[in-house]
Amino acid sequence: MDAIILQILNGLDKGSAYALIALGLTLIFGTLGVVNFAHGALFMIGAFVAVTLQRLLGLSFDQVDPTKSDFMGNPLKVKVPYAESWFGPEVGAAIIDWSVPLAILLAIPVMLLFGFILERGLIKHFYKRPHADQILVTFGLAIVLQELIKYFFGANPIQTPAPSAFTGSFDFGVLLGFDPNAIIYPYWRLVYFAFAALVLSGVFAFLRYTTFGMVVRAGMADRETVGLLGINIDKRFTIMFGLAAAVAGIAGVMYAPILSPNYHMGMDFLVLSFVVVVVGGMGSLPGAVAAGFLLGILQSFASMNEVKSLIPGIDQVIIYLVAIIILLTRPRGLLGRAGVMED
Amino acid sequence: MKLFGLSAKDTRFLIIVILLTMFTPILLQPFPEGSALATFNAGYPDLMQRIAIFGIFAIGFNILFGLTGYLSFGHAAFLGIGSYTVVWMYKLLDYNVIWGLPLAVITSGLFALLIGYVSLRRSGIYFSILTLAFAQMSYNLAYSVLTPITNGETGLQVYPSDAQVLMGATEPTSPHLFGIVLRENFWQPTIGGWQFTFNNGYYFTAIIAIVLFYLSLRIFRSPFGLMLRAIKTNQTRLNYTGINTRPYTLAAFVISGMYAGLAGGLMAAMDPLSGAERMQWTASGEVVLMVILGGAGTLMGPVLGAGFIKYLENIFSKINDSILHGWFGALPDGLENFIIGVSHFFVGKSWHLTSGLMFMLVVIFLPGGLVEGGARIRNLFRRGKSPKGADTAHPPAPVANAAEKEEF
Amino acid sequence: MGILEVKGVSKRFGGLQALNDVNLSVKENTVHAIIGPNGAGKSTLLNCFVGKLIPDSGSVMFNGQSVLGRKPHEINQMGIARVFQTPEIFTDLTVMENVMISCFARRDGSFRLHPFETVMHEKDIIEQAEQMLIDVNMIDKREMHAASLSRGDKRRLEMAMCLAQEPKLLLLDEPTAGMARADTNNTIDLLKEIKQKRDITMAIIEHDMHVVFSLAERITVLAQGTPLVEDTPDNIKGHPKVKEAYLGESA
């Protein structure tokens, strides 16, 4: 029992990331009709926004510390981060410590802007082109973004710690009446799950209760009709793309402490997120979210030693296997509407 | 003149391709050794062989993607399967490639039959994702549980302890064809300042490539090829014309899978090892890039694309600071440093950035690839001569594209 | 006994009874029109003939064989060809290639692996296709890309492709929808010509009364998923029930 709960928890954080990326993919596909192979790269850029902010806040200058001296008796130089000298040692240290969550504030405008530019400059010219062309051009874009990141940040993963308040683990076992240490779960993963839940409900609320969201949902149901109503779809498409980029970006920011950002994380997550979208049902937002969590949890179950010894290699293929089975038996996906991209 | 059941035009085309392939060691070595432009020489056996191998891969991929429009993101899996098969034959029998290569075609064909049968039940983006899923599965498995077969991360290679039951006492200990060692050169003349290398492996690969090019030419001109093109344009009409499209697409998928398997086998004939990274989906992306760049659905496109990409990859990866300083040394210091700084984005290890950009530019501005670019230029010239003969079906080519092609 | 026998066909989509106990018989070598107001179930009925839809109950027999449960290409191979509302042709191919595909389909069936034969060596196929293009007056456009044809020519090409298969039954789904008067008249002439030249059965679904009364020998009027009357054009014109259901609103 405790092992099962542990696996469900383990699946949650990965599932959250899948769900957030898949949500953006679905939004873009549903409204703009574009298959965006660069969406994983947006997630990656988000993670590197966190890296950048952490580095920026960590910038320091040398200062002579009169209270200390080196072994020669000379006054010792110590590195003092600018943040600490501007905001005082305590506030400054806290800001540095909290750089990952703070990066969200930076990531939102950056990603929105990046999304707008991308949509206006590139994506909009591909609305009428075949899906194959959309896949190809966004695939090229993903390579370019990935290589740029590699150029500036190197090929090695960069550790990006969470605030020290969240570095420990939470002992779920005691809470649920199991032995201590039976179910240990890092705090940050809990934070990530809560964060994902917040963002997801935010997006759903936005789509549900605002006029803008209503138009978007109508557009997803029937693009042509909405276009005929004389509603300025173009502007909304741009905003939609920026929003999806921002969601992917902040998902990446918060994921940085869980997976040290590296230049190929975007591609890794993209392939899986596409599988998630297909399993959930192309064009279905609840489907994308449900499938994200489902596959995340499924994957963590498949990596249990008991399961692996039963079916060797299952952890490596489980997601793809599920996708293949779903595509062949129920091409519309778990919650997809009939007729969307079905043939 | 008509040969091998081809029209006069196609015969001429084939002869040109044969001549180009045969003289590649000379054509790719236009600059004398030691000259400033020697960096642009590409007549090394290794590079030429890789161009031929990727040419085969791309020609096969084009039969599926170019003709039917089905975009597979999983063909690297067949490349890997072909490689593993050939290395296993080295391990079990001996280094003669005659055992492994035909078997590589058969095994990759069987896998393609299986994967194609399942994937082709869907079309469009679903097909792409299914093939991607299969390829990623193969890749993950090759790295993990299939280690006894693939030797995991180390990669499959021949060890002294391997059986090699057919191995003779005097037999070469590297890949060979009935004693002709593939990595050896049979002629290395130096004429004036020019150095040329004629390599066994290159000519072996080149002859196979020519045969496979001829086969693809026949497929293009056959009723089968016509049906494949019809599938790309309008499947509905084809169904209502009494044609069952699935066996046609499956046949195209299997044929392209076999081409990929043979290409993978030839990689192992170049260098007797094989690793899982050959199956990664980025490798599938590379062949897509080649076909698109050259011109999907055209005969020459995939070969041009493969040559272009592999050539540029080699050149761009080679360029380093000292070469850049050599080129731009005459400029004022500030400008020199600026140009070199910008170049860093695109050369050396950053070659992938250049290829990604190139890919985007081609998809955006020249969906027909280099072949279309060439056709546009030809139209441009023709129009210049006889303005009345301008055909209105094709819009005039933007100047930027024309310039791009002229370099080539 | 007709070449196409429809007995008791019903089809429901959710709450909508699209077809309700449809009985219909198309006699060999006649032009049979199926008319009716919008939403009468004409297209649904047609889709049941070609394998795109399977009715909930009833039977559709063609030449004594059931077509239900067969795929579109199998039904076509039985001898039913279909012309669409908007012409479905191979736009990337030449006019000649378009027609040749039909000729191949007739000769080789639904699938034949012939990767190493050469299209240009298929003398009999080329001859048939050329003859077909002569028949529809398109031989001068044989090397043109189908995409660059005029709308009327696209329709003509689609007919040629269907006729090249020498079908026993030709289904026409609003063949003049969206056409200008001149194009419509051309299409009528073309169909009349086709009918004169060969033994062929046609079933036309049509909105345009002008087309229907110029071509049809029998007319079935469909309303709300049920056939109201089946009779000759002359009798249909004056029929009170028809006037009420259909002509009344448009005339």
Q: pLDDT of C63-87, one tens digit each?
A: 989 999 899 999 999 999 999 988 9
Mutate to test the interface with B, among C101, C148, C162 (most CBs of B within 10 A): C101
For residue B338, which amino acid is it? F
- Strands C57-62, C65-66: pairing is antiparallel
Per-residue confidence (pLDDT) for residue B368, from 0 to 100: 87
**Per-residue confidence at B391, pLDDT binned at 50, 70, 90?**
very low
Q: CA nearest B223 in C: which residue? A: C119
Q: Determine whether the interchain pair A125/B364 forms a contact, defined as Cβ–Cβ distance below 8 Å.
A: yes
Mean pLDDT value across residues B248-261: 97
Mean pLDDT value across residues A152-168: 86
Of C74, C104, C110, the CB nearest to B223: C104
Residue B309 and residue B357 in contact, taking contact as beta carbons nearer than 8 Å: no
Per-residue confidence (pLDDT) for residue A30, from 0 to 100: 81
**Per-residue confidence at B407, pLDDT binned at 50, 70, 90?**
very low
Per DSSP, the residues of chain C read: --SEEEEEEEEEETTEEEEEEEEEEEPTT-EEEEE-STTSSHHHHHHHHTTS---SEEEEEETTEE-TT--HHHHHHHTEEEE-SS----TTSBHHHHHHHHHHHHHH-S----TTS-GGG-HHHHHHHHHHHHHTT-GGGTTSBGGGS-HHHHHHHHHHHHHHT--SEEEEESTTTT--HHHHHHHHHHHHHHHHHS--EEEEE-S-HHHHHHH-SEEEEEETTEEEEEE-HHHHHH-HHHIIIIIHHH-
Q: Determine whether the interchain pair A274/B364 forms a contact, defined as Cβ–Cβ distance below 8 Å.
A: no
Instruction: Give whole-number Cα distances, C246 to B285, C22, C32, C37, C174, in Å.
Output: 58, 18, 18, 6, 17
Residue A11 and residue A299 in contact, taking contact as beta carbons nearer than 8 Å: yes
List helix spans (H) across B271-300.
281-294
Lowest mean pLDDT of A71-80, A112-121, B63-72, B372-381, name the range.
Answer: A71-80
Per-residue confidence (pLDDT) for residue A338, from 0 to 100: 62
Phi, psi at residue B207, to the nearest 5°? -65, -45
- Strands C16-26, C4-13: pairing is antiparallel
Distance CA A170, CA A189 (A): 10
3-state per-residue secondary structure call for chain A = CHHHHHHHHHHHHHHHHHHHHHHHHHHHHHHHCCCCCCHHHHHHHHHHHHHHHHHHHHCEEEEEEEEEECCCCCEEEEEEEHHHHHHCHHHHHHHHHCHHHHHHHHHHHHHHHHHHHHHHHCHHHHCCCCHHHHHHHHHHHHHHHHHHHHHHHCCCCCCCCCCHHHCCEEEHHHHHCCCCCCCEEEHHHHHHHHHHHHHHHHHHHHHHHCHHHHHHHHHHHCHHHHHHCCCCHHHHHHHHHHHHHHHHHHHHHHHCCCCCCCCCHHHHHHHHHHHHHHHHCCCCHHHHHHHHHHHHHHHHHHCCHHHHHHCCCHHHHHHHHHHHHHHHHCCCCCCCCCCCCCC
Say which CATH topology domain C1-79+167-182+196-251 has: Rossmann fold (3.40.50)
Residue A178 within a domain: yes
Q: Determine whether the interchain pair B218/C76 forms a contact, defined as Cβ–Cβ distance below 8 Å.
A: no
Per-residue confidence (pLDDT) for residue B218, from 0 to 100: 93
Mean pLDDT value across residues A225-247: 81
Is the predicted pLDDT of residue B408 greater than 70, yes or no? no
Instruction: Give whole-number Cα distances, B390 to B216, B370, C34, in Å.
Output: 32, 21, 48
Residue B32 and residue B193 in contact, taking contact as beta carbons nearer than 8 Å: yes
Distance CA C2, CA B162 (A): 74
Is the predicted pLDDT of residue B84 greater than 50, yes or no? yes
| Residues in contact with B9: Cβ distance below 8 Å, sequence separation at least 6, in sequence order | none
**Per-residue confidence at A213, pLDDT binned at 50, 70, 90?**
confident
Residue A111 within a domain: yes
Residue A82 within a domain: yes
| Residues in contact with B145: Cβ distance below 8 Å, sequence separation at least 6, in sequence order | A312, A313, A316
Contacts of B230 in chain C (CB under 8 A): 90, 93, 97, 101
∠ CA B140-B141-B142 to the nearest 5 degrees? Answer: 95
For residue B303, which amino acid is it? V
Residue A65 within a domain: no
Per-residue confidence (pLDDT) for residue B398, from 0 to 100: 37
Residue A265 and residue A314 in contact, taking contact as beta carbons nearer than 8 Å: no
∠ CA B236-B237-B241 to the nearest 5 degrees? Answer: 120
Is the predicted pLDDT of residue C159 greater than 70, yes or no? yes
**Per-residue confidence at B385, pLDDT binned at 50, 70, 90?**
low
Share of chain A above pLDDT 70, in %: 95
Mean pLDDT value across residues B153-171: 88
Per-residue confidence (pLDDT) for residue A227, from 0 to 100: 67
Best-predicted range by mean pLDDT among A94-98, B3-7, B400-404, C55-59?
A: C55-59
Distance CA B392, CA A289 (A): 50
**Per-residue confidence at B384, pLDDT binned at 50, 70, 90?**
low
Asked if the C-beta of B242 comes within 8 angstroms of chain C's C-beta atoms, the answer is yes
Is the predicted pLDDT of residue C2 greater than 80, yes or no? yes
Per-residue confidence (pLDDT) for residue B403, from 0 to 100: 32
- Strands C201-205, C169-173: pairing is parallel
Best-predicted range by mean pLDDT among B13-27, B56-70, C190-204?
A: B56-70
For residue A67, which amino acid is it? T
Lowest mean pLDDT of A227-236, B154-163, B396-405, name the range.
Answer: B396-405
Share of chain C above pLDDT 70, in %: 97
Residues 8-67 of C with CB under 8 A from B: 50
Is the predicted pLDDT of residue C251 greater than 60, yes or no? no
Asked if the C-beta of B341 comes within 8 angstroms of chain A's C-beta atoms, the answer is no
Residue A78 and residue A85 in contact, taking contact as beta carbons nearer than 8 Å: no
Best-predicted range by mean pLDDT among A175-184, A318-327, B393-402?
A: A318-327
Mean pLDDT value across residues B18-37: 86
Per-residue confidence (pLDDT) for residue B400, from 0 to 100: 35
Q: Of B270, B219, B336, which is closest to residue B87 (Cα–Cα)?
A: B270
**Per-residue confidence at A9, pLDDT binned at 50, 70, 90?**
confident
Per-residue confidence (pLDDT) for residue B389, from 0 to 100: 38
Chains B and C touch (3+ CB pairs under 8 A): yes
Instruction: Give whole-number Cα distances, B168 to A164, B94, B102, B165, B354, in Å.
Output: 66, 8, 21, 9, 47
Per-residue confidence (pLDDT) for residue A79, from 0 to 100: 79
Is the predicted pLDDT of residue C25 greater than 70, yes or no? yes
Q: Number of structural domains, chain A?
A: 1
pLDDT per residue over B179-208, tens digit each? Answer: 899 988 988 888 888 888 899 999 999 999
Per-residue confidence (pLDDT) for residue A342, from 0 to 100: 43
- pLDDT, chain B, mean: 86
Per-residue confidence (pLDDT) for residue C250, from 0 to 100: 47
Q: How many beta-carbon contacts under 8 Å exist across A and B?
A: 109
pTM of the model: 0.88
Contacts of A148 in chain B (CB under 8 A): 345, 353
Shortest Cα distance, chain B CAs vs residue C170, angstroms: 11
Asked if the C-beta of A327 comes within 8 angstroms of chain B's C-beta atoms, the answer is yes
Is the predicted pLDDT of residue C199 greater than 80, yes or no? yes
pLDDT per residue over C95-145, tens digit each? Answer: 999 999 999 999 998 898 888 888 888 999 999 999 999 988 899 999 999
- pLDDT, chain C, mean: 88
Contacts of C101 in chain B (CB under 8 A): 226-227, 230, 238, 241, 243
Residue A224 within a domain: yes
Asked if the C-beta of A320 comes within 8 angstroms of chain B's C-beta atoms, the answer is yes
Is the predicted pLDDT of residue C193 greater than 80, yes or no? yes
Query: Regarding predicted confidence, which is higher, C177 or A261?
Result: A261
**Per-residue confidence at B399, pLDDT binned at 50, 70, 90?**
very low
Q: CA nearest A282 in B: which residue? A: B126
Shortest Cα distance, chain A CAs vs residue B141, angstroms: 7
Per-residue confidence (pLDDT) for residue B263, from 0 to 100: 97
Asked if the C-beta of B288 comes within 8 angstroms of chain A's C-beta atoms, the answer is yes
Best-predicted range by mean pLDDT among A150-154, B256-260, B365-369, C163-167?
A: B256-260
List the chains bordering chain A where 3 or more Cβ pairs fall under 8 Å: B
Radius of gyration of chain C (CA): 19
Per-residue confidence (pLDDT) for residue A243, from 0 to 100: 92
Q: Of B106, B60, B69, B52, which is closest to residue B284 (Cα–Cα)?
A: B60
Distance CA C190, CA C179 (A): 14
| Residues in contact with A177: Cβ distance below 8 Å, sequence separation at least 6, in sequence order | none
**Per-residue confidence at A185, pLDDT binned at 50, 70, 90?**
confident
Is the predicted pLDDT of residue A268 greater than 50, yes or no? yes
Share of chain A above pLDDT 90, in %: 29
**Per-residue confidence at B405, pLDDT binned at 50, 70, 90?**
very low
Distance CA A328, CA A337 (A): 16
Residue C88 and residue C171 in contact, taking contact as beta carbons nearer than 8 Å: no
Is the predicted pLDDT of residue B393 greater than 50, yes or no? no
Residues 11-30 of A with CB under 8 A from B: none
Give me the CATH number covering residue A193. Answer: 1.10.3470
- pLDDT, chain A, mean: 85
Is the predicted pLDDT of residue A214 greater than 90, yes or no? no
Of A137, A312, A331, the CB nearest to B122: A331
Q: Determine whether the interchain pair A341/B126 forms a contact, defined as Cβ–Cβ distance below 8 Å.
A: yes
Q: Determine whether the interchain pair B243/C148 forms a contact, defined as Cβ–Cβ distance below 8 Å.
A: no
Shortest Cα distance, chain A CAs vs residue B357, angstroms: 6
Is the predicted pLDDT of residue C247 greater than 70, yes or no? no
Contacts of B68 in chain C (CB under 8 A): none
pLDDT per residue over B216-249, tens digit each? Answer: 999 999 999 999 999 999 999 999 999 999 999 9
Per-residue confidence (pLDDT) for residue B397, from 0 to 100: 36
Residue A147 within a domain: yes
Chains A and C touch (3+ CB pairs under 8 A): no
Handedness of CA C190, C192, C198, C201 (dihedral sign): positive
Is the predicted pLDDT of residue B392 greater than 60, yes or no? no
Per-residue confidence (pLDDT) for residue A199, from 0 to 100: 94
Q: Which domain holds residue A312?
A: 2-59+76-329
Per-residue confidence (pLDDT) for residue C246, from 0 to 100: 61
pLDDT per residue over B269-280, tens digit each? Answer: 999 989 888 888
